[in-house]
Amino acid sequence: MKLILSGTKSYGAETMTVTYADPDNDNGSPREQTTRYNQDFSWQVEIDSFVQDIILNRPIKSGCSDDALKTMELVYKIYQSDLEWAKKYNI
């Protein structure tokens, strides 16, 4: 699983809760396990994968120019969706 923590932590603690429901035995109170993510290894994992793709002459799996274009197109659509902002910046 890849997780990217927000650099500012402005969204609060980043956690994932897994619920283990056993309706026949848990009396409506399933067991939960919450994991808190304090470190962000996502960039290192992505860089390591990229380097291995180059060393082993494999196709790039993520972070290719097509991904960048799709991201920019999505950002542009988001900007266009705010009519006041789009008008102000002539989008």
Residues 56 and 68 in one domain: no
Structural domain tally of the chain?
2
Residues 26 and 55 in one domain: yes
Residues 19 and 46 in one domain: yes
pLDDT, tens digit (0-9, with 9 covering 90-100), for 4-37: 555 655 667 788 999 999 999 998 899 999 999 8
Residues 53 and 88 in one domain: no
pLDDT at residue 2 tops 60 = no
pLDDT given for residue 5 in this prediction: 59
Q: Does 4 reside within a domain?
A: no
**What's the Cα-to-Cα distance from 27 to each of 19, 22, 55, 82, rounded to whole Å?**
14, 8, 54, 47
Domain that holds residue 22: 12-60
Average pLDDT over residues 62-89: 89
Cα–Cα distance for residue pair 91/88, rounded to 1 Å: 8
Q: Does 2 reside within a domain?
A: no
- pTM of the model as a whole: 0.43
pLDDT given for residue 64 in this prediction: 78
Cα–Cα distance for residue pair 48/38, rounded to 1 Å: 20
